[in-house]
Amino acid sequence: MTTLDRSAAVPRSRFESPLADAIILVARIMIGAIFVMSGWPKLLNYSATVAGIAKRGVPQFLAYLGPPVEFFGGLAVMLGLFTEAAALLMIVFTIIATLSSHRYWEFTDPAQYRAQNTNFWKNVTMMGGMLLLFVTAGGRWSLDALLRRR
């Protein structure tokens, strides 16, 4: 087992390996898609996005890194490219985004409180998905697996 082949160490429970790899592929696409879809418009409106992030108290250098990390990190997860590193990067990104943008405890308006509370906990669940990808890696149907075979 190499560093890039953690999936071999994961017990497969009741699923046969081909089915498990298909599920990992679908999970990667589902988890990464939200970052790609959210990151793309931020890249297209980069200056305004960076200014908005910085207004929330995020250090300027992180504000500049945010949009490309969100988009390309999500894309790496979807493609299964450097999956473990991408998952860890996206966890760090999501922690920063969650603590700077979804501070539900600061809202007194019930609708805003509820919306931010939902987004906060949605982000927590996405981090859980990233932790699972860190452990399972990209699976057999990933660019990581393709690069390992070469």
Q: Note the pLDDT tens digit of each residue in 48-104.
A: 999 999 999 899 999 999 999 999 999 999 999 999 999 999 999 999 999 998 988
pTM: 0.83
pLDDT at 11: 52
Number of domains in the chain: 1
Establish if 9 belongs to a structural domain: no
Establish if 5 belongs to a structural domain: no
Establish if 10 belongs to a structural domain: no
Give me the domain span that covers residue 20.
Answer: 15-144
pLDDT at 14: 54
Closest CA to 133 of 97, 96, 85: 85
pLDDT tens per residue, range 22-59? 999 999 999 999 999 999 999 999 999 999 999 998 99
